[in-house]
Chains A and B, each alone.
Chain A
Protein backbone atom coordinates (compact mmCIF):
# COMPACT_ATOMS: atom_id res chain seq x y z
CA UNK A 1 0.00 0.00 0.00
CA UNK A 2 2.87 2.29 0.48
CA UNK A 3 5.98 3.79 -0.84
CA UNK A 4 8.03 0.70 -0.44
CA UNK A 5 7.52 -2.77 -1.71
CA UNK A 6 6.85 -5.37 0.87
CA UNK A 7 9.30 -8.11 1.41
CA UNK A 8 8.40 -11.73 0.95
CA UNK A 9 7.15 -13.59 3.93
CA UNK A 10 10.22 -14.07 5.99
CA UNK A 11 8.39 -13.85 9.30
CA UNK A 12 11.12 -11.98 11.11
CA UNK A 13 11.18 -12.94 14.79
CA UNK A 14 9.16 -10.46 16.77
CA UNK A 15 10.99 -8.64 19.52
CA UNK A 16 8.38 -6.58 21.35
CA UNK A 17 9.27 -3.12 22.50
CA UNK A 18 9.42 -2.50 26.20
CA UNK A 19 6.02 -1.49 27.56
CA UNK A 20 7.31 1.96 28.48
CA UNK A 21 8.44 2.49 24.89
CA UNK A 22 5.01 1.50 23.59
CA UNK A 23 3.41 3.83 26.13
CA UNK A 24 5.78 6.57 25.04
CA UNK A 25 4.89 5.97 21.38
CA UNK A 26 1.21 6.18 22.22
CA UNK A 27 1.76 9.37 24.16
CA UNK A 28 4.01 10.90 21.50
CA UNK A 29 1.46 10.36 18.75
CA UNK A 30 -1.50 11.51 20.80
CA UNK A 31 -3.33 14.79 20.44
CA UNK A 32 -4.37 17.12 23.22
CA UNK A 33 -8.12 17.13 23.58
CA UNK A 34 -8.08 20.91 23.26
CA UNK A 35 -6.30 20.65 19.91
CA UNK A 36 -9.07 18.74 18.18
CA UNK A 37 -10.95 21.27 16.02
CA UNK A 38 -14.36 19.73 16.58
CA UNK A 39 -16.49 22.72 15.65
CA UNK A 40 -14.57 23.47 12.49
CA UNK A 41 -14.75 19.86 11.30
CA UNK A 42 -18.44 19.65 12.17
CA UNK A 43 -19.16 22.82 10.21
CA UNK A 44 -17.35 21.42 7.20
CA UNK A 45 -19.09 18.07 7.46
CA UNK A 46 -22.44 19.84 7.51
CA UNK A 47 -21.53 21.97 4.54
CA UNK A 48 -20.24 19.06 2.49
CA UNK A 49 -23.32 16.98 3.25
CA UNK A 50 -25.60 19.86 2.30
CA UNK A 51 -23.78 20.42 -0.95
CA UNK A 52 -23.83 16.71 -1.75
CA UNK A 53 -27.61 16.74 -1.43
CA UNK A 54 -28.05 19.78 -3.66
CA UNK A 55 -29.21 18.39 -7.01
CA UNK A 56 -28.07 21.38 -9.03
CA UNK A 57 -24.57 21.17 -7.69
CA UNK A 58 -22.15 21.57 -10.54
CA UNK A 59 -18.37 21.79 -10.57
CA UNK A 60 -18.67 25.54 -10.76
CA UNK A 61 -21.10 25.56 -7.88
CA UNK A 62 -19.09 23.21 -5.70
CA UNK A 63 -18.45 24.82 -2.37
CA UNK A 64 -14.91 25.99 -1.99
CA UNK A 65 -14.29 23.83 1.04
CA UNK A 66 -14.90 20.78 -1.05
CA UNK A 67 -12.07 21.81 -3.32
CA UNK A 68 -9.75 21.96 -0.39
CA UNK A 69 -10.92 18.73 1.13
CA UNK A 70 -10.59 16.82 -2.10
CA UNK A 71 -6.94 17.66 -2.42
CA UNK A 72 -4.98 19.57 -4.96
CA UNK A 73 -7.38 20.47 -7.71
CA UNK A 74 -6.56 22.08 -10.98
CA UNK A 75 -8.04 25.34 -9.76
CA UNK A 76 -5.82 25.34 -6.72
CA UNK A 77 -2.77 24.64 -8.86
CA UNK A 78 -3.75 27.45 -11.15
CA UNK A 79 -4.16 29.81 -8.21
CA UNK A 80 -0.78 28.87 -6.84
CA UNK A 81 0.85 29.27 -10.23
CA UNK A 82 -0.72 32.68 -10.74
CA UNK A 83 0.28 33.72 -7.25
CA UNK A 84 3.84 32.52 -7.75
CA UNK A 85 4.13 34.35 -11.05
CA UNK A 86 2.67 37.50 -9.48
CA UNK A 87 5.03 37.38 -6.55
CA UNK A 88 8.03 36.76 -8.81
CA UNK A 89 7.06 39.74 -10.97
CA UNK A 90 6.64 41.90 -7.88
CA UNK A 91 9.99 40.80 -6.54
CA UNK A 92 11.79 41.48 -9.81
CA UNK A 93 10.09 44.86 -10.09
CA UNK A 94 11.02 45.71 -6.52
CA UNK A 95 14.65 44.79 -7.06
CA UNK A 96 14.72 46.86 -10.24
CA UNK A 97 13.23 49.90 -8.54
CA UNK A 98 15.56 49.48 -5.59
CA UNK A 99 18.65 49.32 -7.77
CA UNK A 100 17.53 52.36 -9.68
CA UNK A 101 16.71 54.46 -6.65
CA UNK A 102 19.40 53.54 -4.13
CA UNK A 103 22.76 55.25 -4.54
CA UNK A 104 25.83 53.04 -4.79
CA UNK A 105 27.60 54.64 -1.87
CA UNK A 106 24.64 55.02 0.41
CA UNK A 107 23.75 53.92 3.91
CA UNK A 108 24.94 50.62 5.31
CA UNK A 109 23.05 47.37 4.82
CA UNK A 110 21.92 47.55 8.43
CA UNK A 111 20.51 51.05 8.00
CA UNK A 112 18.74 49.97 4.84
CA UNK A 113 17.27 46.94 6.58
CA UNK A 114 15.97 49.06 9.45
CA UNK A 115 14.51 51.59 7.01
CA UNK A 116 12.88 48.88 4.92
CA UNK A 117 11.53 47.22 8.04
CA UNK A 118 10.00 50.46 9.27
CA UNK A 119 8.64 51.22 5.82
CA UNK A 120 7.04 47.80 5.59
CA UNK A 121 5.37 48.16 8.97
CA UNK A 122 4.17 51.64 8.02
CA UNK A 123 2.83 50.42 4.71
CA UNK A 124 0.85 47.69 6.45
CA UNK A 125 -0.88 50.30 8.58
CA UNK A 126 -1.24 52.71 5.68
CA UNK A 127 -2.88 50.05 3.54
CA UNK A 128 -5.44 49.36 6.25
CA UNK A 129 -3.99 45.94 7.05
CA UNK A 130 -3.08 46.65 10.66
CA UNK A 131 -4.59 45.26 13.88
CA UNK A 132 -7.26 47.94 14.19
CA UNK A 133 -8.54 47.28 10.69
CA UNK A 134 -8.53 43.54 11.24
CA UNK A 135 -10.37 43.88 14.55
CA UNK A 136 -13.00 46.05 12.90
CA UNK A 137 -13.71 43.59 10.09
CA UNK A 138 -17.21 42.12 10.17
CA UNK A 139 -17.30 38.64 11.68
CA UNK A 140 -18.65 35.71 9.74
CA UNK A 141 -19.96 32.36 10.90
CA UNK A 142 -19.16 30.50 7.72
CA UNK A 143 -16.93 27.44 8.19
CA UNK A 144 -13.90 29.03 6.57
CA UNK A 145 -13.92 31.95 8.99
CA UNK A 146 -14.58 29.68 11.95
CA UNK A 147 -11.66 27.52 10.86
CA UNK A 148 -9.42 30.53 10.47
CA UNK A 149 -10.31 31.89 13.89
CA UNK A 150 -9.55 28.54 15.52
CA UNK A 151 -6.32 28.27 13.61
CA UNK A 152 -5.13 31.78 14.43
CA UNK A 153 -5.85 31.18 18.11
CA UNK A 154 -3.42 28.26 17.97
CA UNK A 155 -0.74 30.27 16.22
CA UNK A 156 -0.70 32.94 18.92
CA UNK A 157 1.04 30.59 21.33
CA UNK A 158 3.67 29.64 18.77
CA UNK A 159 4.35 33.20 17.67
CA UNK A 160 4.64 34.32 21.28
CA UNK A 161 7.11 31.52 21.98
CA UNK A 162 9.23 32.41 18.98
CA UNK A 163 9.17 36.08 19.84
CA UNK A 164 10.34 35.38 23.38
CA UNK A 165 13.07 32.90 22.49
CA UNK A 166 16.71 33.77 22.66
CA UNK A 167 17.45 34.99 19.13
CA UNK A 168 20.95 33.54 19.27
CA UNK A 169 19.56 30.02 19.66
CA UNK A 170 16.87 30.07 17.00
CA UNK A 171 13.72 27.99 17.16
CA UNK A 172 14.05 24.62 18.86
CA UNK A 173 13.06 21.24 17.50
CA UNK A 174 9.64 21.22 19.10
CA UNK A 175 8.87 24.71 17.80
CA UNK A 176 9.91 23.65 14.32
CA UNK A 177 7.55 20.67 14.32
CA UNK A 178 4.82 22.83 15.77
CA UNK A 179 5.25 25.34 12.96
CA UNK A 180 5.22 22.57 10.39
CA UNK A 181 1.85 21.36 11.68
CA UNK A 182 0.38 24.85 11.53
CA UNK A 183 1.83 25.54 8.09
CA UNK A 184 -0.32 22.93 6.39
CA UNK A 185 -3.53 24.40 7.73
CA UNK A 186 -2.38 27.91 6.93
CA UNK A 187 -1.90 26.95 3.30
CA UNK A 188 -5.32 25.35 3.16
CA UNK A 189 -6.83 28.55 4.51
CA UNK A 190 -4.97 30.69 1.99
CA UNK A 191 -6.65 28.69 -0.76
CA UNK A 192 -10.12 29.30 0.63
CA UNK A 193 -12.09 31.56 -1.72
CA UNK A 194 -14.10 32.80 1.26
CA UNK A 195 -10.92 34.23 2.75
CA UNK A 196 -9.84 36.14 -0.31
CA UNK A 197 -10.26 39.69 0.98
CA UNK A 198 -6.97 41.52 0.99
CA UNK A 199 -6.60 41.94 4.75
CA UNK A 200 -7.14 38.28 5.46
CA UNK A 201 -4.96 37.17 2.57
CA UNK A 202 -2.10 39.40 3.65
CA UNK A 203 -2.42 38.21 7.22
CA UNK A 204 -2.37 34.54 6.21
CA UNK A 205 0.47 35.04 3.75
CA UNK A 206 2.56 36.84 6.36
CA UNK A 207 1.80 34.04 8.78
CA UNK A 208 2.79 31.45 6.16
CA UNK A 209 6.08 33.23 5.59
CA UNK A 210 6.92 33.29 9.28
CA UNK A 211 5.99 29.62 9.70
CA UNK A 212 8.19 28.64 6.77
CA UNK A 213 11.03 30.65 8.27
CA UNK A 214 10.57 28.92 11.63
CA UNK A 215 10.69 25.52 9.94
CA UNK A 216 13.78 26.49 7.97
CA UNK A 217 15.51 28.14 10.89
CA UNK A 218 16.38 24.91 12.61
CA UNK A 219 20.00 23.92 12.10
CA UNK A 220 20.47 26.93 9.83
CA UNK A 221 22.78 29.93 9.80
CA UNK A 222 22.26 32.59 12.50
CA UNK A 223 20.84 35.04 10.00
CA UNK A 224 18.21 32.51 8.96
CA UNK A 225 17.45 31.79 12.59
CA UNK A 226 16.72 35.45 13.22
CA UNK A 227 14.45 35.72 10.19
CA UNK A 228 11.16 34.69 11.85
CA UNK A 229 11.49 37.30 14.60
CA UNK A 230 12.45 39.98 12.12
CA UNK A 231 9.57 39.20 9.81
CA UNK A 232 7.18 39.15 12.75
CA UNK A 233 8.39 42.57 13.76
CA UNK A 234 8.31 43.96 10.24
CA UNK A 235 4.83 42.74 9.51
CA UNK A 236 3.49 43.46 12.99
CA UNK A 237 2.17 39.93 12.77
CA UNK A 238 1.46 39.02 16.38
CA UNK A 239 -0.74 42.08 17.12
CA UNK A 240 -2.64 41.48 13.88
CA UNK A 241 -3.28 37.82 14.69
CA UNK A 242 -4.29 38.73 18.24
CA UNK A 243 -6.67 41.36 16.94
CA UNK A 244 -8.53 38.77 14.87
CA UNK A 245 -8.57 36.24 17.71
CA UNK A 246 -9.83 38.81 20.20
CA UNK A 247 -12.50 40.02 17.81
CA UNK A 248 -13.69 36.47 17.15
CA UNK A 249 -13.93 35.78 20.89
CA UNK A 250 -15.87 38.97 21.37
CA UNK A 251 -18.14 37.74 18.65
CA UNK A 252 -18.75 34.50 20.55
CA UNK A 253 -19.90 36.41 23.60
CA UNK A 254 -22.91 38.66 23.04
CA UNK A 255 -22.14 40.49 26.28
CA UNK A 256 -18.93 41.72 24.70
CA UNK A 257 -20.61 43.27 21.74
CA UNK A 258 -21.18 40.64 19.13
CA UNK A 259 -22.32 37.18 18.43
CA UNK A 260 -25.73 37.77 16.97
Chain B
Protein backbone atom coordinates (compact mmCIF):
# COMPACT_ATOMS: atom_id res chain seq x y z
CA UNK B 1 0.00 0.00 0.00
CA UNK B 2 2.82 2.39 0.75
CA UNK B 3 5.19 4.13 -1.56
CA UNK B 4 8.33 2.44 -0.30
CA UNK B 5 10.55 3.97 -2.95
CA UNK B 6 9.65 7.46 -1.84
CA UNK B 7 10.66 6.73 1.69
CA UNK B 8 13.97 5.25 0.74
CA UNK B 9 13.01 2.02 2.40
CA UNK B 10 13.13 3.53 5.87
CA UNK B 11 9.62 2.45 6.72
CA UNK B 12 9.27 -1.24 7.19
CA UNK B 13 7.01 -2.88 4.62
CA UNK B 14 3.84 -4.11 6.19
CA UNK B 15 2.30 -7.52 5.74
CA UNK B 16 -0.72 -7.42 3.51
CA UNK B 17 -2.80 -9.81 5.55
CA UNK B 18 -3.52 -10.31 9.19
CA UNK B 19 -0.99 -12.60 10.83
CA UNK B 20 -1.94 -15.47 13.08
CA UNK B 21 -0.70 -13.53 16.11
CA UNK B 22 -2.84 -10.55 15.11
CA UNK B 23 -5.86 -12.76 14.58
CA UNK B 24 -5.52 -14.21 18.05
CA UNK B 25 -5.12 -10.77 19.58
CA UNK B 26 -8.12 -9.43 17.69
CA UNK B 27 -10.21 -12.31 18.95
CA UNK B 28 -9.22 -11.49 22.52
CA UNK B 29 -10.03 -7.81 22.07
CA UNK B 30 -13.38 -8.62 20.48
CA UNK B 31 -14.14 -10.85 23.45
CA UNK B 32 -13.49 -7.92 25.77
CA UNK B 33 -10.36 -9.34 27.37
CA UNK B 34 -8.75 -6.41 29.25
CA UNK B 35 -5.26 -7.90 28.98
CA UNK B 36 -5.76 -8.29 25.25
CA UNK B 37 -6.84 -4.68 24.93
CA UNK B 38 -3.75 -3.55 26.79
CA UNK B 39 -1.53 -5.71 24.60
CA UNK B 40 -3.21 -4.28 21.52
CA UNK B 41 -2.55 -0.77 22.83
CA UNK B 42 1.08 -1.48 23.72
CA UNK B 43 1.71 -2.97 20.32
CA UNK B 44 0.46 0.04 18.37
CA UNK B 45 0.63 3.12 20.56
CA UNK B 46 4.14 4.26 19.68
CA UNK B 47 3.57 4.09 15.96
CA UNK B 48 0.19 5.79 16.17
CA UNK B 49 1.47 8.55 18.43
CA UNK B 50 4.49 9.20 16.20
CA UNK B 51 2.34 9.40 13.09
CA UNK B 52 -0.10 11.85 14.65
CA UNK B 53 2.67 13.92 16.16
CA UNK B 54 4.34 14.20 12.77
CA UNK B 55 1.14 15.27 11.10
CA UNK B 56 -0.04 17.69 13.79
CA UNK B 57 3.28 18.97 15.09
CA UNK B 58 1.94 19.28 18.63
CA UNK B 59 2.20 17.01 21.63
CA UNK B 60 -1.18 17.96 23.08
CA UNK B 61 -2.95 17.14 19.82
CA UNK B 62 -0.94 13.94 19.44
CA UNK B 63 -2.06 12.84 22.90
CA UNK B 64 -5.69 13.73 22.29
CA UNK B 65 -5.95 12.16 18.85
CA UNK B 66 -4.04 9.04 19.85
CA UNK B 67 -6.71 8.47 22.47
CA UNK B 68 -9.42 9.09 19.86
CA UNK B 69 -7.74 6.61 17.52
CA UNK B 70 -7.73 3.80 20.07
CA UNK B 71 -11.26 4.51 21.24
CA UNK B 72 -12.44 4.32 17.65
CA UNK B 73 -10.39 1.17 17.05
CA UNK B 74 -11.86 -0.58 20.10
CA UNK B 75 -15.34 0.46 19.03
CA UNK B 76 -14.86 -0.87 15.52
CA UNK B 77 -12.68 -3.90 16.10
CA UNK B 78 -15.69 -6.05 15.32
CA UNK B 79 -15.75 -4.65 11.80
CA UNK B 80 -12.11 -5.53 11.10
CA UNK B 81 -12.24 -8.12 8.34
CA UNK B 82 -8.60 -9.14 8.31
CA UNK B 83 -7.97 -8.36 4.66
CA UNK B 84 -5.15 -6.01 5.64
CA UNK B 85 -2.54 -5.99 8.36
CA UNK B 86 -3.75 -4.83 11.74
CA UNK B 87 -1.06 -2.15 11.75
CA UNK B 88 -2.32 -0.82 8.40
CA UNK B 89 -5.84 -0.70 9.75
CA UNK B 90 -4.69 1.24 12.82
CA UNK B 91 -2.64 3.51 10.60
CA UNK B 92 -5.65 4.37 8.47
CA UNK B 93 -7.75 5.13 11.55
CA UNK B 94 -5.02 7.37 12.92
CA UNK B 95 -4.73 9.26 9.64
CA UNK B 96 -8.50 9.66 9.46
CA UNK B 97 -8.74 10.93 13.05
CA UNK B 98 -5.87 13.33 12.47
CA UNK B 99 -7.22 14.72 9.23
CA UNK B 100 -10.65 15.20 10.78
CA UNK B 101 -9.01 16.91 13.71
CA UNK B 102 -6.95 19.18 11.51
CA UNK B 103 -10.03 20.15 9.54
CA UNK B 104 -11.82 21.38 12.62
CA UNK B 105 -8.82 22.60 14.53
CA UNK B 106 -7.35 25.54 12.75
CA UNK B 107 -3.87 25.72 14.05
CA UNK B 108 -3.58 29.47 14.05
CA UNK B 109 -6.79 29.70 16.06
CA UNK B 110 -5.49 27.23 18.59
CA UNK B 111 -2.33 29.15 19.32
CA UNK B 112 -2.48 31.98 21.76
CA UNK B 113 -0.37 35.08 21.34
CA UNK B 114 2.78 33.84 23.05
CA UNK B 115 2.67 30.69 21.04
CA UNK B 116 2.30 32.67 17.86
CA UNK B 117 5.48 34.43 18.78
CA UNK B 118 7.23 31.15 19.06
CA UNK B 119 5.91 29.99 15.76
CA UNK B 120 7.84 32.65 13.93
CA UNK B 121 10.37 29.93 13.96
CA UNK B 122 11.70 30.50 10.50
CA UNK B 123 13.36 33.69 11.73
CA UNK B 124 16.60 32.82 13.36
CA UNK B 125 18.68 35.34 15.20
CA UNK B 126 21.87 36.08 13.35
CA UNK B 127 24.04 35.56 16.37
CA UNK B 128 23.11 31.97 16.99
CA UNK B 129 23.24 28.98 14.70
CA UNK B 130 20.72 26.38 15.77
CA UNK B 131 21.23 22.75 15.25
CA UNK B 132 20.21 21.56 11.79
CA UNK B 133 17.58 19.23 13.20
CA UNK B 134 15.99 22.10 15.10
CA UNK B 135 16.01 24.19 11.95
CA UNK B 136 14.33 21.43 10.00
CA UNK B 137 11.71 21.01 12.70
CA UNK B 138 11.02 24.73 12.70
CA UNK B 139 10.76 24.81 8.92
CA UNK B 140 8.26 21.95 8.92
CA UNK B 141 6.29 23.60 11.71
CA UNK B 142 6.16 26.80 9.68
CA UNK B 143 4.52 25.06 6.71
CA UNK B 144 0.79 25.68 6.22
CA UNK B 145 -1.25 22.80 7.56
CA UNK B 146 -2.20 21.35 4.19
CA UNK B 147 1.30 21.57 2.83
CA UNK B 148 2.71 19.97 5.95
CA UNK B 149 0.15 17.17 5.83
CA UNK B 150 0.98 16.28 2.24
CA UNK B 151 4.73 16.47 2.91
CA UNK B 152 4.54 14.23 5.97
CA UNK B 153 2.21 11.76 4.31
CA UNK B 154 4.27 11.50 1.12
CA UNK B 155 7.91 12.01 2.01
CA UNK B 156 7.90 10.84 5.62
CA UNK B 157 5.12 8.26 5.80
CA UNK B 158 5.38 7.03 2.24
CA UNK B 159 1.87 7.48 0.89
CA UNK B 160 1.37 7.86 -2.85
CA UNK B 161 -0.31 10.93 -4.31
CA UNK B 162 -3.32 8.81 -5.21
CA UNK B 163 -3.71 7.67 -1.61
CA UNK B 164 -3.22 11.19 -0.30
CA UNK B 165 -5.77 12.56 -2.75
CA UNK B 166 -8.25 9.93 -1.62
CA UNK B 167 -7.67 10.59 2.09
CA UNK B 168 -7.74 14.38 1.80
CA UNK B 169 -10.44 14.58 -0.84
CA UNK B 170 -8.29 16.53 -3.27
CA UNK B 171 -7.01 15.90 -6.78
CA UNK B 172 -3.71 14.15 -7.38
CA UNK B 173 -2.35 17.30 -9.03
CA UNK B 174 -3.20 19.29 -5.92
CA UNK B 175 -1.29 16.85 -3.76
CA UNK B 176 1.68 17.12 -6.11
CA UNK B 177 1.67 20.90 -6.10
CA UNK B 178 1.42 21.00 -2.30
CA UNK B 179 4.35 18.62 -2.03
CA UNK B 180 6.36 20.67 -4.46
CA UNK B 181 5.66 23.79 -2.41
CA UNK B 182 6.66 22.07 0.82
CA UNK B 183 9.92 20.83 -0.63
CA UNK B 184 10.74 24.24 -2.00
CA UNK B 185 10.13 25.89 1.36
CA UNK B 186 12.29 23.34 3.12
CA UNK B 187 15.06 23.83 0.59
CA UNK B 188 14.93 27.58 1.18
CA UNK B 189 14.94 27.12 4.95
CA UNK B 190 17.96 24.83 4.83
CA UNK B 191 19.86 26.69 2.12
CA UNK B 192 22.01 28.90 4.39
CA UNK B 193 23.11 25.92 6.39
CA UNK B 194 23.84 23.86 3.29
CA UNK B 195 26.00 26.62 1.77
CA UNK B 196 27.98 27.10 4.94
CA UNK B 197 28.34 23.45 5.86
CA UNK B 198 28.90 22.00 2.46
CA UNK B 199 31.23 24.68 1.11
Contact = CB atoms under 8 A, between A and B. Distances in A.
B156 A25 contact: yes
Interface residues of A, number: 60
B25 interface: no
A177 B8 contact: no
Contact of B49 (A22, A36, A216): A36
B144 A4 contact: yes
Interface stretch (B12-20, B76-84, B86-94, B166-174): B166-174
Interface string B158-187: 000000000011111110111111010011
Interface residues of B, number: 78
Given A25-B156, A177-B121, A45 B71 contact: yes
Given A31-B50, A173-B128, A1 B60 contact: no
Nearest to A40: B63
Specify which of A8, A27, A173, A188 lies most central, judged by the most chain B CB atoms within 10 Å of its CB: A173
Interface string B34-50: 00001001100110011
Nearest to A11: B173
B30 interface: no
Contacts of A36: 45-46, 49-50
A24 B136 contact: yes
Contacts of B58: 181, 184
A215 B119 CA distance: 10
A166 interface: no
A33 B174 CA distance: 34
Most chain B CB inside 10 Å of its own CB: which residue of A1, A4, A22, A188: A1
Given A3-B106, A177-B121, 9 more contacts: A1-B170, A8-B174, A25-B151, A38-B46, A176-B118, A184-B58, A215-B114, A215-B118, A216-B117
